[in-house]
Structure 1
Amino acid sequence: MRIAYLLPSLHTSGWRRYAEDLLRALAGEVEPVLIHAADDAELAAELFPEWERYALPVVQDASLSSHRTRGHLLRSLWRARRLSMPRPALVHSLEAYPAGLIGHTLARRWNVPHVLTAHGTYAVLWVRYPLDRWAYQRVLRGAAAICPVSHGTADLMRQTFPEALPAERLHVILNGNDFWRRVPAEDALQRPWPERPTVLTVGDIKARKGMHISLAAFARLHSAMPQARYWIVGKYRPEDPYYQFLQQLVHEHNLQDAVTFWGRVDDAQLDALYRQASLFVLASQAEDLRFEGFGLVYIEAGAYGLPVIGTRSGGIPDAVRDGETGLLVPPEDVEALAQAMRRLLEDEDLARRMGQANRRLSESLTWQRAADDWMKIYAGGRLVG
């Protein structure tokens, strides 16, 4: 089956990982034809040298608010109507909008089904902008299948665009991962209990990731467990106001000897930090229409056999199975988060059981499983209209 894939920006790590891993898993079943942004031409050739590739001025940028980028989008729509390539069996947009708008245009031109993946924020953000809202609803109404990467994303899409999302066209396909391949099962399932209680957070240092909540919770934990330490891994700029606010919290609570900001680390360093941690915490918050679409980092922690603590926000409950692989707490609830940390650090048996369950979850959420779910969509059993 020949399928045209609309690729979001390959220079954005999350989109690149999704495109590369899903397409590799599908490659034995379909004939991919890739449509990407002109700026991604070199990277697309490096990642996918064996497949047909076509370039448009833009497909999906991380930010589409500028007039310059919107101009590129209009040129892409014009070019899409004139793109010279053999007709595929269907079109799959790997992001809902605006990549989905180009996919919708191509599918109508070729008279083939259009299916799309919906990732978190970009699945609902467009309700803010009247013209984009109108265009996006046309994309949703015209799609044969709409596949959010989590049930939380699906719920928010239903709430935001209720009339454009018939239930029979909405199918959740959870993200895959290959983190578990990097860590031998025996290392994860029989990991030694760290001598010093260590809480680990991995994520870009910004308010939506909730480091101010987890840091305040750790301060309460530290009062009861002075030997505990907190490691925060993720890129930051020293002059950034949010990073400076976090440093202020560290000093206010006298945590200079307990909290370490590691910044961006390489894979070997990250591996070592995961292996030395006792539990993983990421207290992500929803900021207006920006939220965690799934939360692959919790699954990465699971590859190492770590129990995890997350928030009941967005798609996180699909990545953190409350009471099984970890604990969920309400967003912005510092006391609940502090209690959850203490519970897992004081109960080694519970932490081990949850960590082992998280490893099993990581092993089950494979890209092959995601590819199999997509093949059911492609095969037509779930296509409507």
Structure 2
Amino acid sequence: MKLLPGLGFVGPMIGRHPGCVTTQGESLVEHFQSEGYPVIGVSFAKNRYVRLADILLTLVQRRKEIDIQCLQVFGGPSFVVEDLASSVGRLLGQKIIMVLRGGAFPEFMKRYPSWCRRVLSRADAIVSPSTFLSKFVETQGFPCEVIPNIIKLSSYPFRLRQKLSPRLLWMRTFHPIYNPEMAVRVMANVHKEIPGATLVIAGQDKGQQSKVHQLSQQLGLQDAVTFPGYLSMSSKFQEGNVAEIFLNTNHVDNMPVSVVEACAMGLPVVATKVGGIPDLLTDGETGLLVPDDDDVAMTSAVFRLLKDPSLAETLSRNGRKLAERSSWEQIKPKWEDVFSRMMS
């Protein structure tokens, strides 16, 4: 019987902390552990400096348990961690798979080309959850294959949408790159025409929530916009089932799990056409795409869905099919194929 390789998933894994989003690295750790793989996940520390120390110490102390290091690569400030972790892994003789996650990584690599090339050259394989990043790094001379992000599909109840009510949902992190203010401006536009329209705007606060709340009050939306904070899984399903349209307002994006979750629940999605979104969603088939920060265009897309049950049904049905591509049953063989090639 062939032994399974020891896997070390390296990156920020802070979802176990209250109010923090579960990361894809954590999800992969759990899934591969359930499949019988020997797996190490590091680090669960919230503080980035403590996390760096924990990662490096774990890689050294538990080096005999790790055959393949699966390094989550975001770029930005975390690239220091990614540089050091890959360097240590290479010195220890580990195979290294780099998983590109950051939607802003293309801009980061253009700014620091030599540094990025030096780090990426340590990889035995490069993987991305979207064709957006895979196409970019391939133009830089690095082969990259696409393995989508995963969701536990059975946990997302599907409800087919047809004739819609004006109940909108925004679910991400309150951070400037996710542009939550745009969702409130869209709501203000919709509310002028349909006073009974509502918006639930939920997520982890990264310093923007009070500003967004203040904007909603300034626009007279106190009774129309709800801020439930970070949603637990049960609360997420509850809000997703009640909502009718999902808004994705990002300035920067890769393959957002929140959009896949919305699709899984049958929510028609209206999203800004940025980063990896056009590679994830097809306009008019699995979502409606609008220009970045264009609340007028997004408002028009919302009204288009409200007036066209046939379009809403198309997006709802096709969205669920899109989400099915992110099920563990679909994703597991792709990862195992990479592992097999690493260990052959």
- Whether TM exceeds 0.5 here: the answer is yes
**Aligned residue among 252, 261, 277 for 2:227:** 261
Question: 1:333-371: CA deviations, max 9, x gaps?
Answer: 121111101101111221122112111221221133222
- What displacement does 1:177 show? 0.9
- What displacement does 1:144 show? 1.7
Equivalenced residues, count: 334
Question: 1:26-82: CA deviations, max 9, x gaps?
Answer: 457774342624x65xxxxxxxxxxxxxxxxxxxx775xxxxx29x848965885x5
Say whether 1:203 aligns with 2:206.
no
| Other-structure match for 1:327 | 288
Distance 2:7 2:283 in 1: 38
| Other-structure match for 1:86 | 64
Note the residue ranges of structure 1 that are not aligned, 5 or more in a row: 41-60, 64-68, 286-290
- Name the aligned partner's letter for residue 254 of structure 1: G
- What displacement does 1:193 show? 4.8
Distance 1:274 1:281 in 2: 12
Q: 1:84 to 1:381 in 2, by over 3 A?
A: closer
Q: 1:346 to 1:23 in 2, by over 3 A?
A: same
**Aligned residue among 6, 14, 19 for 1:3:** 6
**Aligned residue among 190, 194, 209 for 1:221:** 190
**Aligned residue among 146, 152, 155 for 1:182:** 155
Question: 1:229-261: CA deviations, max 9, x gaps?
Answer: 222122448xx5x44443444344333332222
User: For the Cα contact (< 8 Å) 1:9–1:16, is it kept in 2?
Assistant: no
| Other-structure match for 2:42 | 36
- Name the aligned partner's letter for residue 128 of structure 2: P
| 1:347-358 superposed matches below 5 A | 347-358=308-319
- Aligned to 2:73, what secondary structure does the other structure show? coil
- What displacement does 1:330 show? 0.9
Distance 1:304 1:277 in 2: 10
User: For the Cα contact (< 8 Å) 1:21–1:367, is it kept in 2?
Assistant: no
Distance 2:184 2:334 in 1: 39
Distance 2:66 2:54 in 1: 22
User: For the Cα contact (< 8 Å) 2:96–2:124, is it kept in 1?
Assistant: yes
User: For the Cα contact (< 8 Å) 1:94–1:117, is it kept in 2?
Assistant: yes
| Other-structure match for 1:277 | 243
- Aligned to 1:324, what secondary structure does the other structure show? coil
- What displacement does 1:171 show? 1.4
User: For the Cα contact (< 8 Å) 1:176–1:367, is it kept in 2?
Assistant: yes
| Other-structure match for 1:368 | 329
- Name the aligned partner's letter for residue 307 of structure 1: P
Say whether 1:172 aligns with 2:152.
no
User: For the Cα contact (< 8 Å) 2:129–2:149, is it kept in 1?
Assistant: yes
Say whether 1:312 aligns with 2:273.
yes
- What displacement does 1:150 show? 1.4
**Aligned residue among 261, 264, 272 for 1:303:** 264
**Aligned residue among 16, 19, 28 for 1:22:** 28
TM-score (norm 1): 0.73
Report the structure number with the largest CA radius of gyration.
1
Distance 1:360 1:79 in 2: 39
Say whether 1:104 aligns with 2:115.
no
Note the residue ranges of structure 2 that are not aligned, 5 or more in a row: none
**Aligned residue among 120, 128, 131 for 1:140:** 120
Question: 1:174-211: CA deviations, max 9, x gaps?
Answer: 11111x312445xx23x6856x4211111222322222
- Aligned to 1:335, what secondary structure does the other structure show? helix
User: For the Cα contact (< 8 Å) 2:32–2:39, is it kept in 1?
Assistant: no
CA RMSD of aligned residues (A): 3.5
